C-alpha cells in the first residue's frame, strides 16, 4: 500500500512551530525587560554581627624610612615604641594611621611588620580627628587651631583646604565618603556640615534642618553611611540622621542616655555606637537596636574612636593604650544579641 504525501501539511506544521518558538522568545524578552525595570532585588536586611579578632596593636618598632608608596621599611637600629594614649584612627585598605595624644605623635602603621613611622609636621592632642579619602590622602583635624592638615600617601604635606572662617567656628569631626571621596566636616557651634570635594576647591554648606522635634543642640561626632549622614548630639546623648543634602530625617532608637564616644557605619547599613556609660557598643539597623557588644568582650577598657573600612571595625582604646581591629562577620539572628 502506498501512502500519499501532502507537502503543504509539513510546511504548515513548520510555520506553526516557528511561530510558537518566536512567541515564546518574545514573552521571555518581555519578562526580562520587566524584571530589569524593577531594579535589583532587595537585599536581605542586615543582622547582628560577630567581631572576629584581626589585630591588637600596642607596640612595635619605630622606623623613619619609607618606600615609594609611603609604607615603612626596615632600618638598622630601630627602637621599640609603645602607644601611650591613642585617640583617633584612620584606615583604608593597607593604610593605617593612629593619633597618639599621650605622645603627641601621629603614626603610620604597618600591621604586618608591626612598624611605626612618625609623621612629622602634625600636632596631635585629645581633640585630633582623622579621615582617609579614597585618594589615600589623610586629613588631620586640629580642632584648637581650626585647621585641617593634608598628607600625601608618602607623608608629604599638601596645601591646606581654603575654608571661609565664617563657615568654620568650631570644627569637631571629619568623615570621608567611601564612594565619592567627599570629606564631611562638622561644625559644632553653628550646627552645620561642610561637604568638601577631593583635593579642595569649592565646598557646600549643609545647613541641617528639620521639623521642631528634630533640632540639633550641638554636634560632637559624625559618620557617613551608604544612605545617611549620622550626627551625635552631646546635649541629648542621641544620634540624628540626615540625607546628603542636610535634611534631618529622624533619630536613632537606643542612642541614649549615656555619652556617646564613637560612631561608625558599615556598607550593609549597620551603625555602631560606643556608649561610654554602659561600656558597650550598640549595633543599630534601620534606626532600631539589634545588638549590644560589651567592651570587655573586645578586651577594651575605653573607646575614643570607631571607624569601619572594608569590613573591619577599628576600635581605639586610650585607657588600654591600644588599637583593636575586628573583622565584621554576619551572624544568625538566633545567635543572641550580647
Strand partners, 285: 270, 288
Q: Of all helices (H) and strands (E), which one includes residue 18?
A: helix 7-37
Strand partners, 273: 263, 282
CB–CB of 111/104 below 8 Å? no
Longest CA–CA separation in the chain, Å: 109
CA atoms of 338 and 328, how far apart (whole Å): 15
Report the predicted TM-score, pTM, of the whole model to 2 decimal places.
0.82
pLDDT tens for the chain, 338 residues: list them.
Answer: 444 444 544 555 455 545 555 555 444 544 443 333 333 333 556 799 999 999 999 999 988 766 666 666 666 667 899 999 999 999 998 899 999 999 999 999 988 888 999 998 899 999 999 999 888 999 999 888 888 999 998 888 998 777 888 788 899 999 998 777 789 999 988 889 999 887 777 889 998 988 888 888 899 999 999 889 999 999 888 899 999 889 999 998 766 667 899 999 999 999 999 999 999 999 999 889 999 999 999 999 999 999 999 999 999 999 999 999 999 999 865 444 44
Map out the domains of the chain with their CATH numbers. 49-335 (2.120.10.30)
- Please count the residues of the chain: 338
The phi and psi torsions of 52 (rounded to 5 degrees) equal -85, 130
As given in the structure block, the three cell numbers for residue 192 are 552645620
Amino acid at each position: 500500500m502506498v501512502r500519499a504525501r501532502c507537502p503543504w501539511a509539513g510546511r504548515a506544521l513548520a510555520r506553526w512551530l516557528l511561530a510558537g518558538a518566536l512567541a515564546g522568545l518574545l514573552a521571555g524578552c518581555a519578562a526580562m525587560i520587566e524584571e530589569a525595570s524593577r531594579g535589583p532585588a532587595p537585599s536581605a536586611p542586615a543582622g547582628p554581627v560577630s567581631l572576629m579578632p584581626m589585630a591588637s596593636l600596642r607596640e612595635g618598632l619605630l622606623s623613619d624610612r619609607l618606600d615609594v608608596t609611603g609604607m615603612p621599611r626596615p632600618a638598622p637600629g630601630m627602637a621599640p615604641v609603645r602607644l601611650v594614649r591613642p585617640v583617633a584612627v584612620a584606615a583604608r585598605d593597607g593604610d593605617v594611621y593612629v593619633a597618639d595624644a599621650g605622645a603627641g605623635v601621629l603614626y603610620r602603621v604597618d600591621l604586618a611588620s608591626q612598624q611605626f613611622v612618625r609623621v612629622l609636621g602634625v600636632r596631635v592632642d585629645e581633640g585630633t580627628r582623622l579621615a582617609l579619602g579614597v585618594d589615600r590622602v589623610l586629613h588631620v583635624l586640629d580642632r584648637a587651631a581650626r585647621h585641617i592638615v593634608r598628607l600625601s600617601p608618602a607623608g608629604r604635606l599638601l596645601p591646606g583646604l581654603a575654608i571661609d572662617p565664617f563657615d568654620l567656628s568650631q570644627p569637631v569631626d571629619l568623615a570621608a565618603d567611601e564612594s565619592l571621596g567627599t570629606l564631611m566636616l562638622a561644625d559644632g557651634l553653628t550646627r552645620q556640615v561642610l561637604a568638601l570635594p577631593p583635593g579642595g576647591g569649592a565646598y557646600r554648606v549643609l545647613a541641617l534642618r528639620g521639623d521642631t522635634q528634630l533640632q540639633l543642640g550641638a554636634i560632637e561626632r559624625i559618620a557617613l553611611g551608604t544612605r545617611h549622614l549620622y550626627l551625635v548630639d552631646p546635649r541629648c546623648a542621641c544620634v540624628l540622621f540626615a540625607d546628603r543634602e542636610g535634611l534631618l530625617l529622624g533619630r536613632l532608637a537606643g542612642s541614649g542616655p549615656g555619652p556617646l564616644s564613637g560612631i561608625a557605619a558599615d556598607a550593609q547599613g549597620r551603625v555602631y555606637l560606643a556608649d561610654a556609660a554602659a561600656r558597650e557598643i550598640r549595633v543599630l539597623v534601620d534606626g532600631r537596636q539589634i545588638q549590644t557588644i560589651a567592651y570587655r568582650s573586645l578586651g577594651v577598657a575605653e573607646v575614643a574612636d570607631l571607624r569601619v573600612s572594608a569590613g573591619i571595625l577599628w576600635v581605639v582604646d586610650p585607657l588600654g593604650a591600644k588599637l583593636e581591629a575586628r573583622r565584621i562577620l554576619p551572624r544568625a539572628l538566633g545567635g543572641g544579641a550580647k
